[in-house]
Structure 1
Amino acid sequence: MSAPRVVAVAPASPAAVAGVLPGDEILALNGERPRDVISYQLLADEPEILLDVNRGGLELTLEVHKRAGEPLGVEVHTALFDQVRTCDNHCEFCFIYQLPRGLRESLYVKDDDYRLSFLYGNFTTLTRFTEADLERVVTERLSPLHVSIHTTDPQRRAEILRNRRGATSLRWLRALLDHGIEVHGQIVVCPGVNDGDVLDDTLAGVLDQYPELATVCVVPLGVSRYNTETRMRAHTPAEAGAVLAAVHDWQEVYRAVLGRRLVFAADEYYLLAGEPFPPAEAYEGFPMHEDGVGMARAFELEFDGAGTRPMAPRSGFFAWLEGAPAEGYRASRRGEPAGEELPVRPGAPVGVITGTYGARVLEPIIARLGRGDVRIIEVRNEFFGGNTGVAGLLVGADIHRALRRQPAGHRYLLPDVCLSRGRFLDGSTPDELPRPVEVVATNGAALRAALEG
């Protein structure tokens, strides 16, 4: 166990009044050593706290006085103070196995930690879940959790996860649901492996065994150019259409039996199959927005000002391992504010930077504006290659190459979803791009405001 290190103290907060300083290591709160930000938060909610800290080798005890539940005002450096529970599955489709060498170390860490599922929406297979974990989740009401299902057939699930415990670990899903924990499920569909009849059997198994699930999202596997698994390949348009047909059929079954659709297909499937996105009401409140389900339709509604509250996507690719900011314990996207703001050039033509999937979503939306001064700059992801087309996985090198061919003096809007703490996945920053860019929040309202600014 390592002690959480203070990285920021809110001015005039109870911690600031008590004398807590950035760099302090928090050893204990009221004599108890926290193991993660979850237990830390529970301890910090107390009105009277004796805070044991290590300040440069000197151990101090600070007295904190505040109202019960009032924020302590401290931001710590990481979410977990003990070790991340890493994943011992060896899934063929795992994107971490498909990363190039030379990226920062944190990107190669595979987690299967229920705490990160609760904090950040990461999906866990439950193959390393224990009785003690169940007791804590139920006692502390760590809900919602997010569980990777992939298939409900025990032997096939063990095969897909390449872990014999995959055959039995969904018993924990049943236990979580029995105790009233909200759980969102995910099925990564691999062509020729768990699509077709297997997908139908899985969705039937969900209805039979886990009907209390809050939602189930069906997503296509991502294949980078570094993939070495011969069975793993991208969907064909026909295969994507077949997955959509299965999802839509089962939505009707679930509606008839449960009164809700329960299962939803990721936006990528509609783009791959060339089919229109469902109407907004078909997403039943966009509960899986952060997992790529309904993002395009929600973005359109936000852009048109149709009353939908902008939905901020969760932190970027593996950003959870970089730290634990106090607000939502999610890493900031933009990093430290720049020394000076970029000048806004009224009347200058505008280029909207996005990935290949984003371009197909944005083009009809932008076209409705009837403005010849706004264009989409589609950036192909050559860094990862394969079928990688989402804006969230764009890297500085690919954007650099695209902007090098663009004229100077224009405005260039960059979605913040491709940044984590101000950096792209390849470690570069927006300041290194050949044209100045304006970083814009990844929602329709923010893009509309930037275009009208």
Structure 2
Amino acid sequence: MEVNVKNVNNIISKVYKDSIAEEIGIEVGDLLISVNDQAIHDIIEYRFLLSDEYLEVEIQKIDGEVYIYEIEKDYDEDLGIEFTNPIIDQAKSCRNKCVFCFIDQLPKGMRETLYFKDDDSRLSFLQGNFVTLTNMSEEDINNIIKYRISPINISVHTTNPELRQKMIKNKFAGKLYGIMKRLADAQIQMNCQIVLCPGYNDKEELTRTIKDLETLYPYVNSAAIVPVGITKHRGHLPNLEIFNEKTANETIQQIHELQKMYLEKIGTRFAFLSDEFYIIANRKLLEYDEYEGFIQLENGVGIISKLESEIQDHLKTLCKYQTSRKKKVSIATGYSAFEFIKNMAKEIMDVCPNVQINVYKIVNNFFGNTITVSGLITATDIIEQLKDKDLGETLYISRSMLKADEEIFLDNITLEELNEIMKIEVVPCLNEGNDFVDKILK
């Protein structure tokens, strides 16, 4: 039998080794038509239907032939396939005009995918993207509840309806708390993010927002607060202030008082500041245990404390480590992490005397020097600032500088191209202590 299937988003791009799919003969390039006689419109439907223990999976082969595979499996067992389009459907684009939107501050000539603003709850579930909930129909909300899409990562910013409309510039933005209350009543887990903008949603408004979110605990299980990022390319956008040492310290004090209250009330600090606040304020970060399992790591909450602890623990297992030869290497990092990386390099050299590590602070000329995190460093700035330096045999960078699924920088330069231009091996390291130390020591 041959059918005409229009949804090419269902094309299978990967079949895992030793999976059910491989065992029954599903191949890369095959097209998924239906599961249990139901057409698949997006990845959420697919995951929901996959929970059955008996499946009839309709597949169209590359030659046009269609087969129905009968499968008996465990309740939580996956077929072991991926699709060319991770969500199968087209991603929903953002309709907001947030005053702090980073994408609106990008220059021309960067990776094309960077200019697409998604606001899709399915990407929130699958990839950890944050959504504003302004782009959702009643059907979308019902589907989250029906298909148990959890957790959802939500860009809250403020729970004040009028202020949220002002900041996001969307007439539906003020409905946030009502939607979140429905999701909490359905026991959908939510992680929240607050991009803090001085003069907008800070101070009393920040306290109001956190207190509103806490009323939905434990379904809202945490809130991360990150400082607004301002590039030099936002000339056509509203003026925004950035945090300085004084205002960052005030915010830290405000959140620490709330953390103390919630720790006594519900057993968790609930609201956490990103590492950037402590660096701007020249203050010590929280201790490792105070981050409560690093539940907001993707928002930069506790990355430095976690990495420091992991590096120190790993170095203890090495004692006095001797490489077979002396070697000199370099690390490129951003302003925010520079002092930390320099201290960690010293600790590595104390344990491994044959290794010389030079740490270089990369000023973000591409976006402007107000952008200080390593994840927004471009290959252009690395080339311009390190091309005449004696870097030794290897240059190490954070993996966060590259696209998640591809070795390419924000400015569209690949890692391979950077290697060729710098005439040196450039090695990305994960934000994990073992990976960081082992790659340097090899």
Distance 1:110 1:351 in 2: 35
Distance 2:43 2:83 in 1: 8
Distance 2:10 2:190 in 1: 29
Per the alignment, residue 345 of structure 2 pairs with 366
- The residue matched to 1:203 in structure 2 has which SS? helix
* TM-score, normalised via structure 2 length: 0.87
Q: Residue 396 of structure 1 aligns to which amino acid in structure 2?
A: A
Name the CA shift for 1:258/1:351 in 2 (closer, same or farther; >3 Å): same
Asked if 1 retains the 8 angstrom alpha-carbon contact of 2:184 and 2:216, the reply is: no
What is the number of residues matched between the two proteins? Answer: 417
Per the alignment, residue 3 of structure 2 pairs with none
Q: Residue 7 of structure 1 aligns to which amino acid in structure 2?
A: S
Q: Residue 451 of structure 1 aligns to which amino acid in structure 2?
A: I
Matched, 1:442 2:425: no
| 1:223-372 superposed matches below 5 A | 223-228=230-235, 229-305=237-313, 346-369=325-348, 370=350
Q: Residue 362 of structure 2 aligns to which amino acid in structure 1?
A: V
Matched, 1:21 2:27: yes
What is the aligned-residue RMSD (CA, Å)? Answer: 2.4
1:377 positional shift: 2.1
Distance 1:238 1:128 in 2: 37
Name the CA shift for 1:44/1:256 in 2 (closer, same or farther; >3 Å): closer
Distance 1:239 1:364 in 2: 27
Per the alignment, residue 321 of structure 1 pairs with none
Distance 2:226 2:132 in 1: 16
Distance 1:381 1:452 in 2: 28
Name the CA shift for 1:443/1:169 in 2 (closer, same or farther; >3 Å): same
- The residue matched to 2:262 in structure 1 has which SS? helix
* TM-score, normalised via structure 1 length: 0.85
Matched, 1:184 2:204: no
- The residue matched to 1:116 in structure 2 has which SS? helix
1:98 positional shift: 0.9
Name the CA shift for 1:288/1:209 in 2 (closer, same or farther; >3 Å): closer
Distance 1:206 1:169 in 2: 11
Say which structure, 1 or 2, has more relative contact order (CA 8 Å, 6+ apart): 1
Per the alignment, residue 106 of structure 1 pairs with 113
Distance 1:180 1:408 in 2: 53
Deviations 1:185-232 (A, max 9, x none): 111111111112322332333345667520011110111111132322
Distance 1:281 1:296 in 2: 13
Structure possessing the higher radius of gyration over alpha carbons: 2
Distance 1:31 1:211 in 2: 38
Per the alignment, residue 125 of structure 2 pairs with 118
Q: Residue 164 of structure 2 aligns to which amino acid in structure 1?
A: R
Identical amino acids, percent of aligned pairs: 29
Asked if 2 retains the 8 angstrom alpha-carbon contact of 1:3 and 1:26, the reply is: no
Asked if 2 retains the 8 angstrom alpha-carbon contact of 1:354 and 1:379, the reply is: yes
Per the alignment, residue 318 of structure 2 pairs with none
1:108 positional shift: 1.4
| 1:377-416 superposed matches below 5 A | 377-407=360-390, 409-416=392-399
Asked if 2 retains the 8 angstrom alpha-carbon contact of 1:3 and 1:27, the reply is: no
Unaligned runs of 5+ in 1: 308-343
Asked if 1 retains the 8 angstrom alpha-carbon contact of 2:188 and 2:219, the reply is: no
1:297 positional shift: 0.4
- The residue matched to 1:368 in structure 2 has which SS? helix
1:47 positional shift: 5.2
Distance 2:80 2:96 in 1: 38
| 1:162-241 superposed matches below 5 A | 162-207=169-214, 212-228=219-235, 229-241=237-249
Name the CA shift for 1:54/1:380 in 2 (closer, same or farther; >3 Å): farther
